Structures are given as C-alpha cells and as structure tokens.
Amino acid sequence: MPYFRMEHYKVDVGKIVCVTGRADGKGLTYYLKPQGSIVHDGSRTYVPDDVRSTSVTMMLGIAIGERIDHDSSGMMRSVMGMGVMLDHHVTWKKGDASLFDHLLRPSNSGRDTFCTISEFIPMKSVGDPYALDAYLQINEEESLVMSTREMDMSIEDVLGSLKREITLFPGDLVGVWLEENDHPVNDGDLIEAGISNIAILSSRITRRGNR
C-alpha cells in the first residue's frame, strides 16, 4: 500500500489531489494522480528513455486527517499535517504513445506522471501556515523562492472549493501549486525543495536506461 511518512510512522495514502488556479469558483482546477506515482524523498525519479520533455512544479502538500465533505466547516481542523510535493510531467515524443494514449489523445502525445513527496509535519509543529518560506532548486540553482503568504489561494479556500466536488478522507493528500510555472528538468538533474526547513525533499531525475 502506498504511504507517506508523518513523524516516525507511515500513513496509508488515499487519493492524491493536485490543485491549481484560483479558488474563486471559476478558476480552480484539480486533478488526481495515481497512488503508484509516489516517489519518496531521497529516491530517484525514473522517467522513460524516449521522452520529449520533463518538467516539475512545486506544491504545498496538505495531509487530510478528518473527513471533509459538503457539510464540513472549519477546514483547518481536518488538516493533519503539511509537507512538500513535486508535480512531475513527462511527455513522450509525438508518435511514440501507446494505442491507448492515441485513443484518448488525438494528438498522440502520451504522458507519464510522478509525485515526489517529503515527510509530512504535524500541524502543531508547522506554526502559521501563511508565514512559511518555500524554495525550489535544480542543480543547486534557485528556480523558485517565495512565501506561502503569496499563495493565490488560502488553504481554507482550496479545501472549501474541493468539498463541493469531492469528499476528502483521512490519508488523502492535497497538493496546491505554489506557482503556475513548469520548470524543465533533464536526465541527471538534482531537484531539491523545502518549506521553512520543516519539510525538505530531494530527488534525481534518471532515465530508466541509466539505472
């Protein structure tokens, strides 16, 4: 069973929900990632040998501790902890997608996906979730430096919008994009990300043929 770490124990993962856009009733977009896409901190992210592009986006990870549905209120009480998540997108070269991908995507552009996650920190140790410094580095060069106070959406708004569409259960992970940019990465690149030193992760991009 896929899991994430919370302090010194493992928690079974439910859904992985990624959120981007604005929580204004019009611009919020969410999508699901498979449990099997999880890559743990310190592990290599293996991508197909023959790909057109690989990119990554940093997310604030939110671990759900109590059920959230359309009747729920006081959303922050349902948050078990926070961490760092990376949204990976791998696009195959045009014409190399499987028949299944071709049927789903007329452009015949197959996609693969990964989600790197850090250890999650209990909320009691997080402090003010809107006063955290976030950074993303690729090969020790800064690609993103920001504060969570700059987020387009508050955590309450994100969860309040999601509950109108889906029910969240304990063990679900919600990843909120901290920016709208994808950062290109290549074979051998080392990705490091952190949020106020409470959650840090690293992963190296590796083509499967280079194991």
Looking at residues 1-12, what average pLDDT do you find?
91
Number of domains in the chain: 1
- What is the CB-side half-sphere exposure of residue 175 using CA atoms within 13 A? 23
Q: How far apart are alpha carbons 209 and 186 in whole angstroms?
A: 14
For the stretch 172-203, pLDDT in tens is 999 999 988 889 999 999 999 999 977 899 99
Per-residue pLDDT at 79: 96
Q: Which domain holds residue 12?
A: 3-210
pTM of the predicted model, to two decimals? Answer: 0.87
Per-residue pLDDT at 198: 79
Per-residue pLDDT at 113: 79
Per-residue pLDDT at 10: 96
Per-residue pLDDT at 54: 87
Looking at residues 96-104, what average pLDDT do you find?
42
Closest CA to 62 of 129, 1, 111, 3: 129
Q: Flag whether pLDDT at 82 surpasses 50.
A: yes
What are the start-end ranges of the H helices in the chain?
Answer: 99-104, 123-126, 155-162
DSSP assignment letter at 68: B
By CB neighbour count within 10 A (0-12 exposed, 13-18 middle, 19+ buried), where does 202 fall? middle
Q: What confidence category does residue 64 fall into, taking pLDDT thresholds of 50, 70 and 90?
A: very high
Contact 147, 133 (CB under 8 A): yes
For the chain, percent of residues with pLDDT exceeding 90: 60
Tokens 């992970």 sit at which residue?
Answer: 173
Tell me the pairing of strands 38-40 and 111-117: parallel
Three-state secondary-structure class, residue 150: helix
By CB neighbour count within 10 A (0-12 exposed, 13-18 middle, 19+ buried), where does 96 fall? middle
Tell me the pairing of strands 9-12 and 3-6: antiparallel
- CATH code (residue 165): 3.90.850.10
DSSP assignment letter at 124: H
Contact 2, 39 (CB under 8 A): no
